[in-house]
C-alpha cells in the first residue's frame, strides 16, 4: 500500500472542506455570509444548510434578533430560531427575546 504524504493529506482535507462549504453555503449567498476582510456573518442553519443571516440588538432588557432569510422559511425553522433567541437572551442576561424576519 502506498504511503500518503502530508501534502496529499492536506490537499484532500482542503478539497473536502471546500466541497462542504459549497453544499452548506450556496454560491448566490456566499457574499452575504463571507463579508469583507474575512468577517463571517452570524447564520441561520436548517438541515445542514445556511438559510439566512441574522443580527441582534439588546435594548432596554429585550434582545431583538433580525433574520434575513435567503428564501421563504418554514414554520418549524422559525420556531427553532425563536427558541435559540430565547437561549441567547438568557446568555446575555436579557429579560426576553423577539425574533423578526426581514422581507
Mapped onto helix, strand or coil, the DSSP state of residue 54 is strand
Identify the three-state secondary structure at position 82: helix
pLDDT-derived band at 22, boundaries 50, 70, 90: low
Say how far apart CA 24 and CA 95 lie, in whole Å: 33
Which pLDDT does position 88 carry in this prediction?
A: 96
The pLDDT of residue 17: 58
98: pLDDT strictly greater than 60: yes
Predicted confidence (pLDDT) at residue 21 exceeds the cutoff of 70: no
pLDDT above 60 (res 18): no
Amino acid at each position: 500500500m502506498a504511503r500518503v504524504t502530508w501534502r496529499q493529506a492536506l490537499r484532500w482535507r482542503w478539497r473536502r472542506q471546500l466541497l462542504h462549504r459549497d453544499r452548506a453555503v450556496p454560491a448566490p449567498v456566499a457574499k452575504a455570509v463571507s463579508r469583507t476582510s474575512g468577517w463571517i456573518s452570524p447564520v441561520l442553519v436548517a438541515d445542514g444548510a445556511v438559510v439566512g443571516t441574522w443580527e441582534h440588538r439588546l435594548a432596554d432588557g429585550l434582545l431583538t434578533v433580525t433574520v434575513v432569510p435567503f428564501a421563504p422559511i418554514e414554520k418549524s425553522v422559525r420556531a427553532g430560531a425563536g427558541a435559540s433567541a430565547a437561549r441567547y437572551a438568557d446568555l446575555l442576561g436579557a429579560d426576553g427575546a423577539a425574533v423578526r424576519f426581514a422581507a
